[in-house]
Structure 1
């Protein structure tokens, strides 16, 4: 990601997201600015704040997908949260700082996975040896410092496994690698969390409850118990155990904190829902402005306490999104508006966009449904006219009922393919072409009855 130019970032996003070129350009610039900041001298680097973004547009046009794909492309910690889950301090609901703690957890998992990949080869070798020790305890080679010293027989301290034992061990190693031992069961020692005490947290205080439970868990050492499992499963458990021994979790936490602070992305969805009183006031809206004021220091830059240490939010990139159909960005408190200098409006989708969504992306719905039904040995294909009819119906239903964007394609495709999905096991070996007439037949009842379409599509 560090070597990708804005043009290359947009090109990567084009593989999964149709249209919305302005939004793609803006997030590409924001990501490139992060790389540019890292090239600056430290004294100037710390002065440059991230260019936070507000994406405006109706639901289902790609706001969340752009942020999610961008984070995946960058390989950086990414967390999505709905702003409506937060409440002002003093009310029942989530504390805004909890999203930073959640982001840190994601960062830890991300770095830990990378570190495990680095030691994978060594962990596999150690796991294989440990597995052979379980299968052939008598062939386990003696290690320095193990056993008791017998001064009467010092030559026994250098005793090695006999030739027969070594030969048997290598035979078992070969059989294991060829998969001949996979179905055999062995007993293996595994760790289980000690203590067994769990504190039930009050509503709105789940984060505190998790921290208390974690603290209590550390007070009680993990217990060991024996489990009888198949050798293949035992091997996976041993790889996990050996990887944990090879990884320095303190180093993982340090790397994760640095990555979260310098490259983390927090996606605040439905931010328009806390932007003023949409319905003209009422007790349900009492904490909206309070949530904004609680968000302000986190977006502005503060230090949040997590179980892995203190995390600074000064350079975390905040991408917010909302339909803004009732409210507008200017309804946010002025201080928060100033922390989101970049604004971009995403356009509604039309028939041509829907057709491209069905055909162009690598993860297009048509590709997904073909792959799902091929698991039942049922081959389906879509004619161009059929997909154009689907796109036309998606546009029509969005106009006549509620505009839910590209999500309408999911409901329509499920309606069209429901019979085939049900009958697939009985039609193994068939090859079916879905044409325009088939689509019209499957959608006939909902297209003719507008009230029915509101419930089904």
Structure 2
């Protein structure tokens, strides 16, 4: 975990996300409060709960991206889920507790990646030793030789010289095409799901774990070149060096102390469902809120890695709230999101900045993609302004999907260039405002056509 000040967090987010200063400040403070809690005495820190955040704004303005970038910035396990995928306990659908299990799985990946980096050199050394043994197998004969005899000493010295020569050739890359036989551990086939409904997820996992322990593990022998076998052997040695139980315990602790859960589309479960008598995705929205409440408040969820407490998990909830308002949520759930930030609609200037400023802006992505074909792609300032203007105009006249509109706009602009790129003689392409308008203006003028194409 990186301990960054709020100002540093906002500065880092500014590299990838345009605008939305209020939201960035709110998440930066929430993250810094985690560091502050860890500095407190244990009796006080246990009482300090996270200040969860409700992000309110239309789609495509950066709600999810802020949370995702924040988690990546500090190395925290992160899970994004749509509140609409859950249903009340007793109905067919996913159990809300599964989001905690997903969070632990994300933490497992982070911890395992960190542990793999620590043992990378040792694993590589052990893999090279195994390759050497495969290329020059240990002597195996049944004739007994006195280990103290001169003959044994001479044979051992000769064999060591052979191994040293083979090692030098292996390190020099002279044996990459030599074939060796390696035995790979097999994987058990997961049992067929017999329980079905999402509310039995934990029971099903327990049954699968039991079957895995009962069923013998198969293995297979494959003939591969040294170049093909090396990464497989490094992976096997890495796994052998990592303590799986330690990884699991560390992952659970990381999820509990640093986990971030992003609940998207929470506005879709706001309000009453009219008695809960319907069917389909809208069934019992109040019930989903009731099931989410203990998770957000702080409870203990059983996972295959052990119990996980959610008391200090940081929750972000987000929604457009077009047809509902935050006060339509259950009062108890509202109280668990004390910080509310409204994100702004994107202006024409915002669209232009989104194209120009982020480290991985769409323009830089297209330039990098076409550079693989030898194409040098350049956008003039008036081309960027024209695309920003058109994106803003279409968002205003049709459905407002925020910055996602730029993906469609740019794809239409470079479509012909991208198609002809491998066969194109002129490898330097300059896109100006006139080119953009020629490609898009007719579509924008025809509102019915732009509704379906842009």
- Report if TM-score (shorter chain) is over 0.5: yes
Per the alignment, do residues 323 and 366 of structure 1 end up closer, same or farther by CA in structure 2, a change over 3 Å counting?
same
Give the corresponding residue for 1:155.
148
- CA displacement at 1:280 relative to structure 2: 11
TM-score (norm 2): 0.93
Which of 233, 239, 248 aligns to 1:244? It is: 239
SS at match of 1:70: helix
Give the corresponding residue for 1:182.
176
SS at match of 1:73: helix
- CA displacement at 1:370 relative to structure 2: 0.4
CA distance in 2 between counterparts of 1:393 and 1:195 reads 52
Q: How does 1:297-312 map to 2 (within 5 A)?
A: 297-312=294-309
Give the corresponding residue for 1:227.
222
CA distance in 2 between counterparts of 1:377 and 1:255 reads 46
- CA displacement at 1:136 relative to structure 2: 1.4
SS at match of 2:393: helix
- CA displacement at 1:418 relative to structure 2: 1.0
Q: 1:79 and 2:74 equivalent? A: no
Q: Is the 8 A contact 2:273 2:285 kept in 1?
A: no
CA distance in 2 between counterparts of 1:401 and 1:253 reads 49
Give the corresponding residue for 1:113.
113
Q: 1:347 and 2:341 equivalent? A: no
CA distance in 2 between counterparts of 1:443 and 1:67 reads 33
Per the alignment, do residues 196 and 281 of structure 1 end up closer, same or farther by CA in structure 2, a change over 3 Å counting?
closer
Which of 360, 365, 375 aligns to 2:357? It is: 360
Q: 1:263 and 2:258 equivalent? A: yes
Per the alignment, do residues 278 and 203 of structure 1 end up closer, same or farther by CA in structure 2, a change over 3 Å counting?
closer
Per the alignment, do residues 339 and 153 of structure 1 end up closer, same or farther by CA in structure 2, a change over 3 Å counting?
same
Q: Is the 8 A contact 1:23 1:345 kept in 2?
A: yes
Give the corresponding residue for 1:29.
29
- CA displacement at 1:277 relative to structure 2: 4.8
CA distance in 2 between counterparts of 1:448 and 1:435 reads 20
SS at match of 2:437: helix
RMSD: 2.4
Structure 1 residue ranges without an equivalent (≥5): 141-146
SS at match of 1:283: coil
Give the corresponding residue for 1:170.
164
CA distance in 1 between counterparts of 2:273 and 2:389 reads 33
Q: Is the 8 A contact 1:272 1:329 kept in 2?
A: yes
Give the corresponding residue for 2:417.
420
Deviations 1:226-276 (A, max 9, x none): 022332231111111111111111111111111110100011000100011
CA distance in 2 between counterparts of 1:195 and 1:432 reads 52
- Per mean C-alpha deviation after superposition, the further-off stretch among 238-247 and 24-33 is 238-247
Q: Is the 8 A contact 2:90 2:199 kept in 1?
A: no
- Per mean C-alpha deviation after superposition, the further-off stretch among 190-199 and 263-272 is 190-199
CA distance in 1 between counterparts of 2:316 and 2:189 reads 41
- CA displacement at 1:225 relative to structure 2: 1.0
Per the alignment, do residues 93 and 382 of structure 1 end up closer, same or farther by CA in structure 2, a change over 3 Å counting?
same
TM-score (norm 1): 0.93
Q: Is the 8 A contact 2:83 2:263 kept in 1?
A: yes
Q: Is the 8 A contact 1:278 1:327 kept in 2?
A: no
Per the alignment, do residues 154 and 354 of structure 1 end up closer, same or farther by CA in structure 2, a change over 3 Å counting?
same
Give the corresponding residue for 2:443.
446
Q: 1:3 and 2:20 equivalent? A: no
CA distance in 2 between counterparts of 1:449 and 1:161 reads 88
SS at match of 1:320: strand
SS at match of 2:198: coil
Deviations 1:16-74 (A, max 9, x none): 00000000000000000000000000000000011000000000000000000000011
Q: Is the 8 A contact 1:262 1:315 kept in 2?
A: yes
SS at match of 2:360: coil
Q: 1:13 and 2:13 equivalent? A: yes
CA distance in 1 between counterparts of 2:59 and 2:274 reads 19
Per the alignment, do residues 450 and 278 of structure 1 end up closer, same or farther by CA in structure 2, a change over 3 Å counting?
farther
- Per mean C-alpha deviation after superposition, the further-off stretch among 252-261 and 28-37 is 252-261
- CA displacement at 1:315 relative to structure 2: 0.4
SS at match of 2:100: helix
Structure 2 residue ranges without an equivalent (≥5): none
SS at match of 1:406: helix
CA distance in 1 between counterparts of 2:240 and 2:425 reads 48
Give the corresponding residue for 1:144.
none
Give the corresponding residue for 2:213.
218
Per the alignment, do residues 67 and 196 of structure 1 end up closer, same or farther by CA in structure 2, a change over 3 Å counting?
closer
CA distance in 2 between counterparts of 1:139 and 1:343 reads 72
- CA displacement at 1:328 relative to structure 2: 0.9
